[in-house]
Amino acid sequence: MNINTPIRIGYTLSLSGPVAENTSSARLAHRIWEEDINLKGGLLGRKVELICFDDQGDAALVPALYKRLLDEEKVDLLLGGYGTNTLKASLPIVIERNLVLIGLMGLGVNIDFKYPNYFAIIPTGPNPNAALTEGFFELASAQSPKPQTVALLTADAEFARNPVFGARENAAKYGLKIVHEQTYPLSTTDFQPIIKQLKEIDADVLFLCSYLNDSKGLIRAIHDSDYRPKMVGGAMIGPQSASVKTELGAYLNGFVNYEYWMPVPKMNFPGVAEVLQRYQARAASEKVDELGFYVAPLAYAQLEVLAQAVKATGTLDNALISDYCRKNEFETVMGTIKFAEGGEWEEARVVQVQFQQVENGDLSNFRDSKVQVVVSPESYASGKLIYPYDPST
């Protein structure tokens, strides 16, 4: 191969559609990595070029786009897209051609496929469905007096299924009784009737699994109601986003939710601060998430893993790259990553964050961990849980 020909890495992202805010953040982090690797001379002595197609958040479009990348664009390597739905849709063509795929932030994608050449860039460990929410239920069970009952409220969508499986498992593990389960359509805009119904049930813990827009609606509805579960949150997509934080401000107080990285000393992995500094310097002008905490470190690490495997093996051979990924550790801006069965991380690294004493929606409030307190696990904790839920604190 001519060394003047770039190594082309192809993938899709949902740059439009319901998760575009998150995927746009990933795309900027990928472009920063592309610039970095090329400043260092590229891979195997060749420049690197990322080829990214928009799958519009529609899983039905994904197989044809990956075939196009392989058969028309003739990319040298594939990269996994973002999220469970589109990653699952890409795997059949990847498996058919026996290729390696490193996917970004898909939960339990490989549980059914059991494909040995898939690797997950999401810190949910060997039991991903349970790991996402275990900290939430463990925290609840440790309070005094211990809460006894749980209500599950989740979006009626594919992405919610795995977290709900994990929530049921964790509720049982920590001795909490599920007294109500309810789903709502993603098109829901008025959550007041649902919250009124939940108040009548009056479970001690309210577990939520929601998407960007419905997360905002639920937080407002709970805050404005007189329903006060002792603990609320869990698996909400949205509160991680800078735009949601600035829009909701003090409405977020008391909510507990998962994160994968936060600006706390114990998560200051080598290189992450520098990547985020450069990301944030460009985020506003590129109209992407201005903080980048949720997606950018993982997206950058995704390509670090692929690059390290290519460099170590000295090849673009998918079988050799996959074998290397299975057997070795990777040093990334998300710390050390080691893959285990199913391509999941050997150890989970999900943290639970509680919003505390948020005064307003000024972005500067959310640039550190003062109002976004890591309350679990203890190994990464930056403060203590405020219990029971009180929206004024």
Q: Which fold has domain 7-123+268-343?
A: Rossmann fold (3.40.50)
Side-chain-side CA neighbours of 69 within 13 Å: the count stands at 31
Quote the CA–CA distance of 367 and 285 in Å, as a whole number: 18
Supply the pLDDT for residue 1.
55
DSSP string, 304-321: HHHHHHHHHHTS--HHHH
Q: Are strands 7-13 and 48-54 parallel, antiparallel or unpaired?
A: parallel
Contacts of 231 by beta carbon, 8 Å cutoff, 6+ apart: 136, 139, 140, 143, 147, 204, 205, 206, 256, 387, 388, 389
Smallest CA-to-CA distance from 164 within 115, 107, 248, 216 is with 107
pTM: 0.96
- Tens digit of pLDDT per residue, the chain (393 long)? 567 899 999 999 999 988 899 999 999 999 999 999 999 999 999 999 999 999 999 999 999 999 999 999 999 999 999 999 999 999 999 999 999 999 999 999 999 999 999 999 999 999 999 999 999 999 999 999 999 999 999 999 878 888 999 999 999 999 999 999 999 998 999 999 999 999 999 999 999 999 888 999 999 999 999 999 999 999 999 999 999 999 999 999 999 999 999 999 999 999 999 999 999 999 999 999 999 999 999 999 999 999 999 999 999 999 999 999 999 999 999 999 999 999 999 999 999 999 999 999 999 999 999 999 999 999 999 999 999 999 988
Quote the CA–CA distance of 142 and 245 in Å, as a whole number: 28
Supply the pLDDT for residue 2.
66
Supply the pLDDT for residue 18.
83
| Domain segments of the chain as ranges | 7-123+268-343, 128-259+356-380
**Cis amide prior to 193 (ω within 30 degrees):** no
Q: Do domains 7-123+268-343 and 128-259+356-380 have the same CATH topology?
A: yes
Smallest CA-to-CA distance from 293 within 257, 336, 347 is with 257
Smallest CA-to-CA distance from 188 within 212, 163, 224 is with 212
Judged by phi (left if over 0) then psi (alpha if -120 to 50, else beta), residue 83 lies in: left
Residues 210 and 257: beta-carbon distance below 8 Å: no
Burial class (CB in 10 A: 0-12, 13-18, 19+), 281: exposed
- Which own/partner pairs from 279-286 qualify as long-range (CB within 8 Å, at least 24 positions apart)? 279/28, 279/29, 279/32, 282/28, 282/32, 283/25, 283/28, 286/24, 286/28
Q: What is the CATH number of domain 128-259+356-380?
A: 3.40.50.2300
* DSSP reduced 3-state for 161: helix
Supply the pLDDT for residue 393.
86
Smallest CA-to-CA distance from 79 within 30, 39, 46 is with 30
